Amino acid sequence: MNPRTHLVALVAMHGVAPFDLSGAAQLFGAACTENGVPLYHLVVCGEAPIVHGMGFDVKPDCGFEALESADTVIVAGSNNFDRPIPRDLISALRKASRAGARVCSICYGAFVLAAAGLLDARRAVTHRMGIDALARRYPAILIEREAMVVDDGSIVTSAGALAGIEMCLGLIRRDFGEALAARAEWVAMGRAPADAASQTVPPLPETGIGAVLHWMSAHYAEPLTVPLLASRAKLSERSFARHFRAQMGTSPHQWLLARRVHKARALLETTTQSIAQIAVLTGFESTNAFRAKFQSLLGKSPSHYRRGILAGRENSRAM
């Protein structure tokens, strides 16, 4: 393993959900430089020499002691959030976090992070079927019930298996930029690299909500309001908001914010334009508002994000 390669430790407990584990492994395993050099080294850390999963067994590479040297730890979900959590796993997660590792979870893996105290006073999410239990058991957690992925800096949680895929793509994107993340997605999942924000526009009719959504995609940098959008859809404001959420799974405001932040991220990666210029180009009312919204969605400031992308590119070239 190249000494500069980022170490990702995937955690498997008994009852592990195979897709949580394999989806993450495929994406990080597919991430490489333009010359084909792997960007990550993966190990599967299990609670036993053979971990009994949902449907088939898993043979881990090592035990939980390997977490202490990992750069990123991902706890895969299991079939039951009431399953006992090994004490040595809790200890290893705490040590990894103290050592500076990025600690993440997929689905019910959030219960493991919570048991280790890593989610106290932090924003987090888990699978919808377990979110009430997580809130009851760990009231110090700031539950984001509507989120698919919650990036709180060094702690990242995701709602379910498909959200876990998006979380892993986001981590690769954060480490090495949009282009290498898109390539990993293409190799691992067969999804053609594309503008991620455009993927939030599913096939919809060119009338009603569908027409408005396509119009929003083209005019995201303009001052868009719910009254304006409802008028274009020929609906009342309340009906428009209800239909939009039913079809898109989020509010018009949150969808537009995600679109703007995605476009801003692309400009940070591919241009030398200033933060103030990018704020204007992507429709934010001020530079301060841009910084605050960017930070809330991605867990870091625009400047920090740009520096990380540049550093990631330098590292990938050096491999």
Q: Give CA–CA dist 112/141, Å, rounded.
A: 13
Is 289 a residue whose pLDDT tops 90? yes
Residues 21 and 61 in one domain: yes
Task: Return the higher-pLDDT residue of 54 and 115.
Answer: 115
Which two three-digit tokens encode residue 4? 């500069």
Compute φ and ψ for 158, nearest 5 degrees: -135, 155
Which two three-digit tokens encode residue 212? 């408005």
DSSP string, 183-222: HHHHHHH-PPP--GGGGGS-S--SSHHHHHHHHHHHSTTS
Residues 121 and 203 in one domain: no
Question: Is residue 1 in some structural domain?
Answer: no
Residues 239 and 154 in one domain: no
pLDDT digits 0-9 by tens, 65-111: 999 999 999 999 998 899 999 999 999 999 999 999 999 999 999 99
Residues 215 and 175 in one domain: no
From 166, 188, 210, give the residue that closes a domain. 188
For residues 273 and 265, is the Cβ–Cβ distance under 8 A?
A: no
Instruction: Please report which helix (H) or strand (E) contains residue 156, including its range.
Output: strand 155-158
Lowest mean pLDDT among 60-69, 198-207, 299-308: 198-207
Provide the pairing of β-strand 102-106 with 155-158: parallel
Alpha helices, DSSP H only, in the chain? Answer: 18-30, 87-98, 109-115, 131-137, 161-176, 178-189, 208-218, 226-233, 237-248, 252-270, 275-281, 287-298, 302-318
Is 221 a residue whose pLDDT tops 50? yes
CATH number of the domain bearing residue 303: 1.10.10.60
From 188, 206, 233, give the residue that closes a domain. 188
Is 249 a residue whose pLDDT tops 50? yes
Residues 227 and 165 in one domain: no
Residues 53 and 14 in one domain: yes
Which residues 6+ apart lie within 8 Å of 55 measured at CB?
18
Task: Return the higher-pLDDT residue of 173 and 290.
Answer: 290
Question: Is residue 20 in some structural domain?
Answer: yes
So what's the pLDDT on residue 3?
A: 45
pTM metric for this prediction: 0.67
| Mean of all residue pLDDT scores within the chain | 87
Residues 184 and 259 in one domain: no
Question: Is residue 118 in some structural domain?
Answer: yes
Residues 180 and 200 in one domain: no
Q: What percent of the chain has pLDDT over 70?
A: 90
From 170, 188, 206, give the residue that closes a domain. 188
Residues 125 and 210 in one domain: no
Mean pLDDT of 141-158: 90
pLDDT digits 0-9 by tens, 258-281: 889 888 988 888 889 999 999 999
Residues 173 and 201 in one domain: no
Give the pLDDT band (50/70/90) at residue 191: low
Which residues on adjacent β-strands are paired with residue 123? 142
So what's the pLDDT on residue 255?
A: 86
Is 199 a residue whose pLDDT tops 80? no
Mean pLDDT of 218-240: 91
For residues 184 and 30, is the Cβ–Cβ distance under 8 A?
A: yes
Q: Give CA–CA dist 314/287, Å, rounded.
A: 28
Task: Return the higher-pLDDT residue of 82 and 1.
Answer: 82
Question: Is residue 202 in some structural domain?
Answer: yes
Residues 211 and 300 in one domain: yes
Residues 127 and 39 in one domain: yes
Total structural domains in the chain? 2
Q: Give CA–CA dist 10/72, Å, rounded.
A: 9
For residues 64 and 9, is the Cβ–Cβ distance under 8 A?
A: no
CATH number of the domain bearing residue 23: 3.40.50.880
Closest CA to 246 of 235, 231, 262: 235
pLDDT digits 0-9 by tens, 98-149: 999 999 999 999 999 999 999 999 999 999 999 999 999 999 999 988 888 8
DSSP string, 56-99: SEE--SB-GGGGGG-SEEEE--BS-TTSPPPHHHHHHHHHHHHT
Please give the residue range of the domain that contains residue 255. 195-319
